[in-house]
Amino acid sequence: MQSVVSYGRFLFRAVVNEIGNEFLSSHWLSSNRLITSLKRRTFHLISALSGLSKTHSGPPLSPSFSPSFSQINQRSFGDDSCFAVQNNAADVLGVADGVGGWRTYGVDPSQFSRSLMAICERLVKLGKFSAKKPIELLNNSYEEMQLEKTSLIGSCTACIVALNREDKKIYTANLGDSGFLVIRDGRIIHKSEEQTHYFNTPFQLALAPTMVPGAFISDSPDSAQSTTFSVEEGDLILIATDGLFDNLNDQVILKHLSNLKAGSSLADLQKVANEIANEAHKCGFNPSHRSPFSINAANNGFNVIGGKPDDVTVLLAQVACAGSSTDNSIDRNVLGQCNDNYNSSGDGRPHPPPLHHHHHHGNKNNVPL
């Protein structure tokens, strides 16, 4: 009888232990899945592109206008160019603005900005890029341009923003007067600072003819302003060339962005990006518009009235979690088709000299005044 009771107790304990182990194992697996799931909720960017060449004379962009990131001629507007690409570690966006003063020397300014953006994109895709060092990306791309066998001449401003998925921070590099804004809950919480040598002469990367060394402005990529900033789901990031910032102030830009909420769709972002580009382009040709450019000119002793006709490029992105219902990330690299036929050989920027005529002051300077 004693042995039967002992055996019964042993069997009961074994059953209880087995159930307990099963429960603990199940609980551990559940917790582990939850932790893994949380880790997988990495941030990425849902990104829309819009823009207009200064020479665009057709109707305003339609709300559904959606140029393609995958083709360089469709993501370039006049002398502006841009890129948006992902790799395993980061989402990276960039804009560049060719300096129009080179037309005086018979040089097409768009070639320089397009080349820089194309190289940046390729290096990111190849993984030859640290998400925390966008200045290094600028440096490596610029060095590659210097080593090219074809004698590329020109200069451009540049702005790069990289979202590092590991620490959920953006790392930025801005050289010149293109720039970015970070918006949360309808407020600008982080922004770039314009870099200029003097009025209308921004910092710029340049490759000048060897026969005239020292006659042109050329800044090092290391001169770019670099920042780091923690982002949250729903934050908006706007990156643009000076064709936007010279014609629309922050309040007007924020008014457009107020239509976007956390979890906005790609279509929503595209619509707002097109609205912003349209208004900047329209204001650039308005002779009575009190533009940021005209205010800045007055502060520097120049009599400029109205907007500044210029190419406009707008990249508008929202921070989202992977797997969310609005996950339309850019790794497919195609956001539609563009048939606007923006010129790469046309003017792209205004180029007459005197600053007191509102329609004659779009050219940035690339030589000392």
- 10-residue mean pLDDT profile of the chain (369 residues): values are 45 46 48 48 93 96 91 87 94 97 93 96 95 97 89 94 97 98 98 96 92 78 98 98 98 97 96 98 97 97 96 98 58 33 33 32 59
What's residue 79's pLDDT? 98
What's residue 280's pLDDT? 98
pTM of the full structure: 0.81
β-strand partners of 160: 94, 173
Q: Report the CATH architecture of 42-332.
A: 4-Layer Sandwich (3.60)
What's residue 19's pLDDT? 45
β-strand partners of 181: 191, 238
Q: Exposed e or buried b for every residue in 27-57, given b needs 16+ CB within 10 A?
A: eeeeeeeeeeeeeeeebbbbbbbbbbbbbbe
**Residues with Cβ < 8 Å from 193, sequence gap 6 or more?**
174, 179, 225
What's residue 72's pLDDT? 72
